[in-house]
Chains A and B, each alone.
Chain A
Amino acid sequence: MTGLLKDIGLSHDLAVLIAKTIGVFVVGGFGLLWTLLGIWLERKWAGRFQDRIGPNRVGPFGLIQTVADTIKILLKEDIMKQGIDRWVFNLAPILSVVAVILIWAVVPFSPAWIGTDLNIGVLYLLAVGAFGTIAVIMAGWGSNNKFALLAAFRAVAQLVSYEVPMVLALLVPVLLSGSMSTQEIVRQQHIWYVFAVPLTVLIFLISSQAETGRGPFDLLEAESELVSGFHIEYSGIKFGMFYVAEFLHAFTAGVLTAILFLGGWRGPFAEDVPVLGFLYLMIKGLFVYWVLVWVRMTLPRVRIDHLLDFNWKFLVPVGLINLLVVALVWKLIPGTDQINSTADALVPTLVLLLVNVAMILVIGALLAERGRRERARIQARVAGTDLPAEALASAAD
């Protein structure tokens, strides 16, 4: 691309700049176009999970339902109610989309296709991802609405708290590959990291589900108590932007999991045919995204004290221990500093897998024991009363 532009007589710098601008438009435009199809896909899946058909009226299989919705929402009145903080109110929906689009700058689509291969890619992901949290807080604060403000507070408690286990999980692929560049992490996965560190993948999935603010962690927009939370005062296309951002964020979480743990574009012949690498990445990303939608559609919303307990008293300690154990095992296996082929990676992966299974079993046993004690405690209290056990259980919290 750059060579072609140089041939028609442009200076080197200008040619690079134009090539990069085109690249930006391709990657960014792809993200937004994908949204149109992706929202349809998610609604179809959601329908299936709930024993419905999902959108099926507009176009074949309801395919252009999202387009119709977009046009509808564009034509809706954009109400700017009294007493809002105008700047904050207007910037929030834009910023929430910016946070997600920026992530796609470091997504490696194939060995050759990547927006830009930053050597601090993982840190960059976290940095721009934090914009999303700020956007939610801005929307909640700028709306001058008590429900929205409550949602903004919950954003502080939830989004900010779950950032900690998420980073702890992110550190593991960085440690295993010895690089923060997303492209290099994919290259180093001669065997997918999910086979070596399944516990880390679990922590990452749970915390990214919380980070995107989707069920069972959708306390930010809990419609039954906050009547839709931080975007309650938004209407028209500004509300639509929040919707787009939420969808893209969830899908991006799937793609990031695919990159960090499922080998990204890796697959048969991906090195030679870039399109195949892109396809593999999309399939893996969609699969993880499908799992996240499944979780969202299956589990009921958690209470805020349970949510915070789960993070600070379970995920964070587990994340810390997991990181230290993986680091220790990694150092004890000889030859882990030079992994250049699948054969090199085989023994470390097997050892790490065994250690991970052991850790998962221990954690499971501890949780089961705790549950048994809790049930016994409630049983003992029920014995003296004529209340049903459930009533006491909810009173005991």
Chain B
Amino acid sequence: MDLNQWIFIGLFFALGWTLPALPIVLGKLLAPRRPNPTKLQAYECGVEMVGSAWTQFRAQYYIFALVFVIFDVELVFLFPWALAYNQLGLFALFEMAVFIFLLVVALVYTWRKGALRWA
């Protein structure tokens, strides 16, 4: 029974890829195709692009991604806790409060450190 559920998800996945792919293939057949050098340039509001777009970028984004990873891992741990919460005692709440507190400390640290400031 359990496996059947995942067969359904598998089918859904296959359909999910087919439905948007179909119009794109259809578009390939129907749409005209008349490329010329100007049309194939990158759009940069009329100015010719200098170099490639794949260059270095500011590290700020990376820091936000890192903070996110910390919290996302925490949230994964919270799911089983929330799921079993009705069967657990009051102790479970305090244990989780301690766990969350540790991560709040991390949040406060990044905050004080200025990592969350968009400079």
The dominant DSSP class at the B interface is helix
Cβ of B45 to closest chain A Cβ, rounded Å: 6
Q: Is the CB of A171 within 8 A of B87?
A: no
Q: Per-residue 0/1 for A171-197: is the Cβ within 8 Å of any B Cβ (1 yes, 0 no)? A: 110110011100000000000000000
A292-346 with Cβ < 8 A to chain B: 304-305, 308-309, 312-313, 316-317, 320, 323-324, 327-328, 330-331, 336-337
- Nearest B residue (CB) for A241: B20
- Nearest A residue (CB) for B90: A331
Contact of A28 among B19, B21, B75, B78 (CB under 8 A): B19
B80-119 with Cβ < 8 A to chain A: 82-87, 90, 93, 96-97, 100, 104, 107, 111, 116-118
Q: Does A43 contact B (CB under 8 A)?
A: no
Number of A residues with CB within 8 Å of any CB on chain B:
88
Q: Is the CB of B31 within 8 A of A78?
A: yes
Q: Is the CB of B40 within 8 A of A81?
A: yes
Q: Does A365 contact B (CB under 8 A)?
A: no
Q: Is the CB of A24 within 8 A of B12?
A: yes
Q: Is the CB of A145 within 8 A of B43?
A: yes
**How far, in angstroms, from A76 to B27 measured CA to CA in the complex?**
8
| Known contacts A144-B52, A145-B44, A167-B75; is-contact A78 B27 (Cβ 8 Å) | yes
Interface contacts (Cβ under 8 Å), in number, total 217
| Known contacts A97-B20, A320-B104; is-contact A164 B68 (Cβ 8 Å) | yes
Apart from A180-B79, A309-B116: 11 A-B pairs, beta carbons within 8 A: A17-B7, A78-B28, A82-B41, A94-B24, A97-B16, A149-B54, A153-B61, A171-B79, A227-B45, A245-B20, A312-B116
Please report A residues at the B interface, Cβ cutoff 8 Å.
16-17, 20-21, 23-25, 27-29, 32, 74-83, 90, 93-94, 97-98, 101-102, 104-105, 115-118, 122-124, 141, 143-149, 153, 156-157, 160-161, 163-164, 167-168, 171-172, 174-175, 178-180, 227, 232-233, 236-238, 240-241, 244-245, 304-305, 308-309, 312-313, 316-317, 320, 323-324, 327-328, 330-331, 336-337
Give 8 A-B contacts (CB < 8 Å), ordered by A residue. A32-B19, A75-B30, A76-B31, A79-B35, A104-B12, A180-B79, A327-B96, A337-B87
Please report B residues at the A interface, Cβ cutoff 8 Å.
4-5, 7-9, 11-13, 15-17, 19-21, 23-24, 26-28, 30-35, 39-45, 49, 52-54, 57-58, 60-61, 64-65, 67-68, 71-72, 75, 78-79, 82-87, 90, 93, 96-97, 100, 104, 107, 111, 116-118
